[in-house]
Structure 1
Amino acid sequence: MTGMGSPTRRNWKPRGLLLGLTLALLAGIAPITDATAKKRSNTPQSSAEEVSGPLTIVVSLRRQRLHIFDAKGLVSSAPISSGRAGYRTPKGIFTILQKRRRHYSNLYGGAPMPNMQRLTWSGIALHAGPLPGYPASHGCIRLPSSFSRYLFGLTNLGGRVIVTDEPVAPVRIAHPALLKPLPPGNPPATVQTASLVQTAGPGATPHSTDLLLGVTAANAAETLGSEKRTRASVAAARAQELIDLEATLTRCRNEEQEIGAELTSANLALRSAIEAVKTAEVELGNVHGLIDATASAKSKTADEMLAFMTKNAQVEGEEAIAKAMAEEDTLETKMLEQIATYELALSDEKSLRRLIGDRRLAAGQAKDHRDGILRRHIAARKAAVAASAALDKAKKADARRDKPISILLSRKASKMYVRQGYDDIFEAAIEFQHPDAPVGTHVFTALAYTEDGADLEWHAVTATTRSVSRKSSKTKGEVIQTANLPKQTPGNAIERVNIPQEIRDQLAEHLKPGSSIIITDEGRSYETGKYTDLIVEFR
């Protein structure tokens, strides 16, 4: 929940006393007077004062009235008209998700919804509209026109809105079990984030690590030296974290580029080696063709010589003998040339086979060299991607660092949920004392730092309690004696939640004015999603 702005404080009243009384009578309640405001708040407020701290808006469906509270108490109130039968306004813990001065319904024929402040993405909102004095809307909370303008200017996105049956009001609370922030402190010397990250180790989990930096609070304190962790020292560490991550990303990208250049050269060398093998293999193929052709020619010449010898075995006459001898010389020369060509081709084949073997070996070595560089390049690219993701995560965390956190402690789910700036940043299993006994629904809001800055001032609203039969209630086979059940008060609620010290230390960094803690019997509402805070609905 974000802190509210600081417009001039004034108690809103409808224009004209008669109109105010008429609206109040139609709503079936008495108008809130200055005396009522003083009764509801221990700190009376004048119209000249400014709104102090985060606002809490409480809507009472039974009384058909809205009240605005700040750190000092009641700011203002006005009548409303909530959802009629069949379109009941949901009860629960909401925040303002969207604000538009001019808005038109996309569910009900473009009906105007001036000064719209959205509570759910399913269609529930605060806006100006007719007030007949009873529930008449399609689920939204209608406000008087001038009050809707006043409220619109008073709130910020993330403002807390509690919708209940009966009117409720926040009360100041101080309890040792409430979460505490880090002390203010002074920033230490520059901290190297890399050493902090290394301290966490590869086995770090969300339960053992800091929400933003990735190290435990204990490890961070150890790395920071003997000085105690403070808001200032952690802020310095976070700033250094961004510097270190930027440097890491630059180094990773440079390394990726350098290895990429090596990879390009290695690929060229490998392609050249492969081409050399292919060239030699083509030459070997040509030699094989020559060997085959020469062998065939030799065989043919041998056949010709055999035929010649058979034909001229008994030749007579000088002229015939001379002619036969000339033909014999021609055949012998032809045969000798073919034999020489064949033997040379065989020699070439042998040489080419050795050459191909050598070139294949060289190509294999080039491939191994290229593959080694490729593995380095892949690792460098992964490192660059991881560094980029880490930097992006750190930047997002840094952007939301000044925003308060919302903590939901659910008895139903036995879980703690933490959101900051609509992002889930932490989740852990927790235990409740008397887990079968209802705890109610209570909203604690951090109003401001104490005077010394070492703690927070809180107020709490009990939004609803669960009734239990006076006799007994059987849950999971056990009988709960109602006489022994703890009362459903904010103090008892915070006492019943067992939050490990390690988690308290982790959350301490992010606690600030505007942060809230919701302790409830209910689970997280299905309305909780992207671009919402933690939403709880109850019966």
Structure 2
Amino acid sequence: MMVRTVLPLLLISATVFTTPALSQDGTNLQIIVSKQDQKLVVYDGTKVVATSRVSTGKEGHSTPSGIFSIIQKAKYHESNLYSNAPMPWMQRITWSGVALHQSSSVPNRPASHGCVRLPDDFARTLYGMTALGAHVIITDAPVTPVVVNHPFLFTPRHDEPQLLSGAKLRGGDAVSATKPVEVAMIDVPAVPKAELPTPSNPAPLRILITYSDDQQIVRDAQVLLRELGFDTGSTDGQTGPLTREAIRGFKRWKSLNTKGPLITPEFLTALYASAGKPMPPRGHLYVRQNFKPLFDAPVAIAHPDQPLGTYFLDAVDVNHQTGATTWQAVTLDNASPHKPQSSVITIGTHDGSNPSTSETYGLNAVLDRITIEPDIRTRIESTMTTGTSLTITDQGIGKETDEGTDFITILPPKNRS
């Protein structure tokens, strides 16, 4: 493991280093930028290892808030958008042009065209501290990672040696109950915990849990409508003229309200009942690794008419020998407490329940609402490593999430009215 020594209280361009060494190789550092304070803080776990002033995007060129990771690094880069402006010590966080980079003008107020400007010396130092995949969280108000515990959170597992592998029970119907039953045992020497095999340091998993997107809901409805004899034209997930007429025709058949949003809980309940199929879970889990999709699966989210908010969780000190890990979390302050409304789709429960906000909102309450299948949990827990992250959000898979990225979650601009 590479260890970098950092001199205590070394002051460089309004930058303070506060710990003697980094415990990771740079992949698992967490960089948090507050646009309100115009300040960047680097965390190694919950420890602050560096801070600096910054300049984020000025009015009309605001730096987006959300969850990002470093997807490209270059000691020298020129802007493709702004007259080949130099961007030394560039660390890209979106392919559309947002990056952290050195600048000779960092006035500690919003001044850039959307990037995060860093003081000269600190930009170079930060470049040397990080690796591709390091997370960058940009918020309005400052936030701090906190350690969290919840039974939903993934814990590393290791398959113990099978002590009865190949064993054959002798007895049963062929042996009198009055005679002792012989059991063939395989002698397996005790293996110290420290010698048990572990995953060979694969890249950390990136996990996203969100609501199923509207396109998937429409696509599933189109399939069922066609099975029931209603012509939707295609199963492309789009609410074109034929799909709209098919839905209205089904509603008339079932005496449902044809006014208001096109797809409602009542419509979906009736549609799946008519097709003789159970309602699918409203949530979905996606997993990436090495900037590529790995697998995805449906998950159940209770009270799907209630928002989730946006949370980022990071696993530190993952130990497959002991089955222990520590999760730390950041709640993004400008995560919308209300899901965006659609004139086409409104999805929720229709069980007459009306849970309070305290029962459904906030990290612990949200984790209480999520259920995943045991085989999916096993797959994650068997391969998770230090730096595995979990994003929970209403925002779906962000449009910036693409080939060569981790999950990128961009939050809507904060309402300042």
User: Which interval holds the TM-score relative to the shorter structure?
Assistant: 0.5 to 0.7
| Residue 311 (structure 2) aligns with | 442
Work out whether residues 64 and 135 of structure 1, in 8 Å CA contact, stay in contact via their aligned partners in 2: yes
Work out whether residues 11 and 75 of structure 1, in 8 Å CA contact, stay in contact via their aligned partners in 2: no
- Matching residue within 114, 120, 128 for 1:153: 128
- Higher mean C-alpha displacement, 451-460 vs 477-486: 477-486
| Residue 284 (structure 2) aligns with | 415
CA distance in 2, matches of 1:141, 1:56: 15
Work out whether residues 94 and 162 of structure 1, in 8 Å CA contact, stay in contact via their aligned partners in 2: yes
| Residue 296 (structure 1) aligns with | none
| Residue 221 (structure 2) aligns with | none
State the shift of 1:173 in Å: 1.4
Q: Which amino acid aligns with 2:311?
A: H
SS of corresponding position for 1:67: strand
Work out whether residues 306 and 360 of structure 2, in 8 Å CA contact, stay in contact via their aligned partners in 1: no
- Matching residue within 102, 107, 114 for 2:88: 114
- Matching residue within 2, 5, 25 for 1:8: 5
State the shift of 1:518 in Å: 0.6
**Residues 504 and 101 of structure 1, relative CA distance in 2, 3 Å threshold:** same
Work out whether residues 157 and 320 of structure 2, in 8 Å CA contact, stay in contact via their aligned partners in 1: no
- Higher mean C-alpha displacement, 448-457 vs 103-112: 448-457
- Work out whether 1:528 is the aligned partner of 2:388: no
State the shift of 1:170 in Å: 0.5
CA distance in 1, matches of 2:329, 2:87: 31
SS of corresponding position for 1:152: helix
| Residue 404 (structure 1) aligns with | 204
SS of corresponding position for 1:82: coil
- Matching residue within 60, 69, 78 for 1:86: 60
State the shift of 1:80 in Å: 0.8
- Matching residue within 73, 89, 95 for 1:99: 73
SS of corresponding position for 2:368: helix
- Work out whether 1:138 is the aligned partner of 2:113: yes
Work out whether residues 12 and 77 of structure 1, in 8 Å CA contact, stay in contact via their aligned partners in 2: no
SS of corresponding position for 2:11: coil
SS of corresponding position for 2:379: helix
| Residue 325 (structure 2) aligns with | 456
Work out whether residues 184 and 232 of structure 1, in 8 Å CA contact, stay in contact via their aligned partners in 2: no
CA distance in 2, matches of 1:417, 1:163: 22
Work out whether residues 65 and 78 of structure 1, in 8 Å CA contact, stay in contact via their aligned partners in 2: yes
State the shift of 1:51 in Å: 3.9
| Residue 366 (structure 1) aligns with | none
SS of corresponding position for 1:491: helix
Work out whether residues 184 and 453 of structure 1, in 8 Å CA contact, stay in contact via their aligned partners in 2: no
Superposed CA RMSD: 3.4
SS of corresponding position for 1:149: helix
Work out whether residues 96 and 117 of structure 1, in 8 Å CA contact, stay in contact via their aligned partners in 2: yes
| Residue 467 (structure 1) aligns with | 337
CA distance in 2, matches of 1:47, 1:182: 31
* Structure 2: gaps (5+ residues): 164-192, 214-282, 340-344, 413-417
State the shift of 1:475 in Å: 5.9
**Residues 440 and 484 of structure 1, relative CA distance in 2, 3 Å threshold:** closer
- Work out whether 1:486 is the aligned partner of 2:356: no
Work out whether residues 11 and 77 of structure 1, in 8 Å CA contact, stay in contact via their aligned partners in 2: no
| Residue 192 (structure 1) aligns with | none
- Matching residue within 426, 438, 441 for 2:295: 426
For residues 106-164 of structure 1, what are the alpha-carbon distances to aligned partners after superposition, in whole Å with 9 as ceiling and x for unaligned?
A: 22111111110000111100001111232111110001111111111111100000111
Counterparts of 1:170-249 in structure 2 under 5 Å?
Answer: 170-183=145-158, 185=160
Work out whether residues 46 and 146 of structure 2, in 8 Å CA contact, stay in contact via their aligned partners in 1: no
**Residues 68 and 46 of structure 1, relative CA distance in 2, 3 Å threshold:** closer
CA distance in 1, matches of 2:131, 2:155: 25
State the shift of 1:60 in Å: 0.9
The percent identity for this pair of structures is 35
State the shift of 1:452 in Å: 5.2
* Count of matched residue pairs: 305
CA distance in 2, matches of 1:11, 1:121: 35
* Structure 1: gaps (5+ residues): 21-31, 34-44, 189-229, 236-397
Work out whether residues 184 and 454 of structure 1, in 8 Å CA contact, stay in contact via their aligned partners in 2: no
Q: Which amino acid aligns with 2:314?
A: T
**Structure with a larger share of its residues in helix:** 1
**Residues 483 and 495 of structure 1, relative CA distance in 2, 3 Å threshold:** closer
SS of corresponding position for 1:427: strand
CA distance in 1, matches of 2:374, 2:394: 23
For residues 232-281 of structure 1, what are the alpha-carbon distances to aligned partners after superposition, in whole Å with 9 as ceiling and x for unaligned?
A: 6786xxxxxxxxxxxxxxxxxxxxxxxxxxxxxxxxxxxxxxxxxxxxxx
| Residue 284 (structure 1) aligns with | none
State the shift of 1:46 in Å: 4.8
CA distance in 2, matches of 1:508, 1:168: 28
**Residues 85 and 458 of structure 1, relative CA distance in 2, 3 Å threshold:** same
| Residue 50 (structure 1) aligns with | 22
State the shift of 1:487 in Å: 5.7
For residues 452-474 of structure 1, what are the alpha-carbon distances to aligned partners after superposition, in whole Å with 9 as ceiling and x for unaligned?
A: 531221111112333359xxxx9
TM-score calculated relative to the size of structure 1 = 0.51
- Higher mean C-alpha displacement, 178-187 vs 65-74: 178-187
- Work out whether 1:504 is the aligned partner of 2:386: no
CA distance in 2, matches of 1:405, 1:451: 15
Say which one has the larger Rg.
1
TM-score calculated relative to the size of structure 2 = 0.65
Work out whether residues 117 and 126 of structure 1, in 8 Å CA contact, stay in contact via their aligned partners in 2: yes
State the shift of 1:48 in Å: 2.4
Work out whether residues 407 and 517 of structure 1, in 8 Å CA contact, stay in contact via their aligned partners in 2: yes
- Higher mean C-alpha displacement, 482-491 vs 128-137: 482-491
| Residue 164 (structure 1) aligns with | 139
